[in-house]
Amino acid sequence: MIEVRPLSGSIGAAVTGISLGDLGELGDLNDGRFSAIRDAFLANCMLVFPGQHLSVARFEAFSKLWGEPVTSSFLEYIEGHHGVSKLFNRGKSKSVTENWHSDTPFLPEPPSINLLSALHMPVGGDTMWCNQYLAYETLSSGMQQMLCGLKIEFNGDSLAGLTGRVEDFRSCHPVVRTHPETGRKSLFVGPPTITARRFEHMTEEESFPLLHWLHQHSFQPHRVYRHHWSDGDVVMWDNRCTLHYAVHDHGEDAERELYRITTRAEKPV
């Protein structure tokens, strides 16, 4: 039987009692079990399925239940497996994920649901998530009103530079977005020196102080879950109402490998 256990007081739940690798079961997920997982996902913003040890094909099959893969030119994908990439330890100085971010917010339709499947994990190399519904709900009513209607111009230049791409990635999205499935409002921000550079129609200088404050407000420790990985864990998170941060404390040579899929392109509203 599926069991859902919260992992912190603010975000995340562990789901046990289900084998995601069992394709027969996956078919059956269209019954009550799929809706149990979906409800747990929408309520907790991120889920951990411990000890799944999925093959790439089965990881793909599970991900497909949540939507079509979203790809970007920043990543390389495994041949024969559309939208599946392999994350590995590139060294701390080359890490682009050791900051609080949501994935590819500079796309017109960023991915909504992201999944990782852990192959080989080191000691350390944790990942953290924070809850952006709570980040919005804990703002004063005055700040909430002021932000309502503002947009951030998200910019992919610095990521493009680091990964040698030359395309111009820019999209404006609402700072306060409404989740299409839960109807809840969340704070949609990013690292102001990397992607969330300015408010629409404002300069970077004008925008920075408030963007910086909103970003810092988002990942206060009491709104964060920190996951200590084990090989075989599958994790999925809602890219629409969370930020995440990959801690690089495992050294340059430690093995750290995960499969990664991002799904369901959606325009933030």
Ligand X SMILES: O=C(O)CCC(=O)C(=O)O
Residue 260 interacting partner from ligand X, Fe ion, none (CB closer than 5 to 8 Å by kind): ligand X
Pick the binder of Fe ion from 18, 54, 103, 196 (CB under 5 A). Answer: 103
d(CA 252, CA 64): 33
155 near ligand X, rule: CB under 6 A: no
Residue 87 interacting partner from Fe ion, ligand X, none (CB closer than 5 to 8 Å by kind): ligand X
Taking the least distance from each CB to ligand X, the nearer of 32 and 51 is: 51
What residues numbered 69-128 form the site for ligand X, per CB under 6 A?
87, 97, 103, 114, 116, 127
Taking the least distance from each CB to Fe ion, the nearer of 103 and 238 is: 103
What are the backbone angles phi and psi of residue 133, rounded to the nearest 5°? -65, -50
For residue 95, which of 194, 197, 241 has the smallest C-alpha distance? 194
Residue 135 near residue 185 (C-beta atoms within 8 A):
no
Taking the least distance from each CB to ligand X, the nearer of 114 and 207 is: 114
For CA atoms 51, 242, 107, 158, give the dihedral sign.
negative
What residues numbered 4-43 form the site for Fe ion, per CB under 5 A?
none
Residue 144 interacting partner from ligand X, Fe ion, none (CB closer than 5 to 8 Å by kind): none
CA distances from 134 to 79, 145, 229, 232, 243 (A): 39, 16, 25, 30, 12
CB of 256 to ligand X, least distance (A): 7
Taking the least distance from each CB to ligand X, the nearer of 85 and 207 is: 85
Residue 9 near residue 134 (C-beta atoms within 8 A):
no
CB of 141 to ligand X, least distance (A): 33
238 near Fe ion, rule: CB under 5 A: no
How many residues sit close enough to ligand X to count as binding (CB under 6 A)? 9
Region from 52-60, 92-100, 130-138, 147-155 binding Fe ion, contact rule CB under 5 A: 92-100
Residue 196 interacting partner from Fe ion, ligand X, none (CB closer than 5 to 8 Å by kind): none
CA distances from 195 to 79, 152, 172, 185, 220 (A): 29, 9, 11, 21, 20
Pick the binder of ligand X from 244, 259, 264, 268 (CB under 6 A). Answer: 244
d(CA 98, CA 100): 7
215 near ligand X, rule: CB under 6 A: no
Residue 127 interacting partner from Fe ion, ligand X, none (CB closer than 5 to 8 Å by kind): ligand X
CB of 49 to ligand X, least distance (A): 15
CB of 13 to ligand X, least distance (A): 18
Q: Give the interface with Fe ion as residue ranges (CB under 5 A).
A: 97, 103
Q: Give the interface with ligand X as residue ranges (CB under 6 A).
A: 87, 97, 103, 114, 116, 127, 244, 246, 260
